[in-house]
Amino acid sequence: MSEAKHIREYSLQELKEYFESIGDKKFRAMQAYEWLWKKNARSFNDMSNLSLDLRKKLADEFDMQAISVDATQHSSDGTLKSRFKTYDGHLIEGVLIPTENRNTACVSSQIGCSLTCKFCATGRMERKRNLRFDEIYDQVAILNEQSESVYNKKLTNIVYMGMGEPLLNYKNVLKSIDRITASDSMAMSPKRITVSTAGVAKMIKQLGDDQVRFNLALSLHAPTDKKRNEIMPINETNTIDLLIEALNYFYDKTKNDITLEYILFRGKNDSLQDADDLIKIYRQIPTHLINVIEYNPIGGVDFEKPTEEGTQLFTDHLAKHRVNVRVRRSRGKDIDAACGQLANKDKSTA
């Protein structure tokens, strides 16, 4: 028996051709397509307006390989973290972050990560594989269902800030965004989607060449190459100067928003000299915002968060020099759902 074909790789036209080939009506293709991308079916049995015989035939000829919710944790601040299981048994995590004005889905792009950033729990995990575009899409669809069920509100924003480096899974990330923004799917505005990167200069330029419409965030976290090399090994081949050049190229091509992400580490990157060095970078990039992020401890590493006074001193210094700066308070810390904490820890409730 030949290996089953992955149905979510098929376009609507290809599905029409398939249904014609088995002597069925073209409109069946539209029904199946709507189940896949609007009604978010995760099995052929879900496709209730198709006959049982047709559903069985589809299940025999195709696979769907949708992800499933393995467990969900609820934070005291309203954040929900879900552990998802892939068809081949791997675990990934996604987070629903509700606030007064928006409900944001934070999704993963890889199983594990290869970048070994020193402050990140995911960076300690071996990268098993890239997620397929539909596995990324599934996370968004499930988190949207949770948002509607728990908060009576659809997702308003999506950030690719979960497990993995999105730009090292370039094609699947872009294809997932195409599906999320498609009119025959979730129809999310690309302006409400942000892809975060640790800094892959070549692929940042590729985003510009591909004229993407979503926003970009750079996880900078240190204002000099010397300091960044110590905590983010990727900087050794993607230096700050290369990233500045790439971000300017991206902006020239797309005019999309660029945000700089900067986690404060006590005694390592939080001095006024560090702030001055960060200001120099800010002035070389058409960025609209620096997000200063509080560090979330992961254990076993020599990092501490600054005092509130230290954070205030740092951000006040930036603001005094006309930098648009915002302190991003971490959500879901009590369930290890905050920035840098995603590592499939088993503290879950079904």
Q: What is the pLDDT of residue 330?
A: 67
CATH of the domain at 325: 3.20.20.70
Query: What gap in Å lies between CA 213 and CA 192, rounded to an integer?
Result: 10
- Does residue 148 sit within a domain? yes
- Does residue 24 sit within a domain? yes
Span between the terminal Cα atoms of the chain, in Å? 37
Q: What is the mean pLDDT of the chain?
A: 92
CATH of the domain at 29: 1.10.150.530
Single out the residue of 65, 72, 110 nearest to residue 89, CA to CA. 65
Is there a single domain that holds both residue 42 and residue 91? no
Whether 339 is catalytic is: yes
Query: What gap in Å lies between CA 195 and CA 215, rounded to an integer?
Result: 6
Single out the residue of 28, 32, 145 nearest to residue 82, CA to CA. 145
Is there a single domain that holds both residue 12 and residue 116? no
Is there a single domain that holds both residue 190 and residue 296? yes
Over residues 264-289, the mean pLDDT reads 96
Asked whether residue 264 carries a pLDDT value surpassing 70, the answer given is yes
Q: For residue 293, give the amino acid letter.
A: I
Whether 93 is catalytic is: yes
Query: What gap in Å lies between CA 317 and CA 320, rounded to an integer?
Result: 5
Show the domain range for 51. 5-63
Domain boundary among 33, 63, 93: 63
Spot the catalytic one: 106, 113, 117, 339: 339
Single out the residue of 49, 31, 9, 27 nearest to residue 184, CA to CA. 31
Over residues 103-111, the mean pLDDT reads 96
Q: What is the pLDDT of residue 346?
A: 47
Query: What gap in Å lies between CA 93 and CA 72, rounded to an integer?
Result: 10
Per the DSSP assignment, residues forming a β-bridge with 81 are 73, 95
Query: What gap in Å lies between CA 80 and CA 213, rounded to an integer?
Result: 28
- Does residue 348 sit within a domain? no
Is there a single domain that holds both residue 169 and residue 215? yes
Is there a single domain that holds both residue 56 and residue 74? no
Domain boundary among 17, 39, 63: 63
- Here the tokens at position 350 are 């079904």
Q: How many structural domains is the chain composed of?
A: 2
- Here the tokens at position 98 are 């509700």
What pLDDT, in 10s, does the model give residues 285-315? 999 899 999 888 776 678 899 999 999 999 9
- Does residue 349 sit within a domain? no
What pLDDT, in 10s, does the model give residues 146-200? 999 999 999 999 999 999 999 999 999 999 999 999 999 999 999 999 999 999 9
Spot the catalytic one: 93, 135, 165, 261: 93
What residues contact residue 273 under an 8 Å CB cut-off, 6+ apart?
A: none
Is there a single domain that holds both residue 45 and residue 76? no
Contact 326, 290 (CB under 8 A): yes
- Here the tokens at position 72 are 């969900």
The full DSSP string for 47-77 is -TTS-HHHHHHHHHHEE----EEEEEEE-TT
Contact 144, 135 (CB under 8 A): no
Is there a single domain that holds both residue 120 and residue 229? yes
Calculate the dihedral angle through the C-alpha atoms of 83, 191, 214, 8, rounding to the nearest 10 degrees: 50
Q: What is the pLDDT of residue 329?
A: 75
Is there a single domain that holds both residue 256 and residue 291? yes
Pairing of strands 258-264, 215-219: parallel
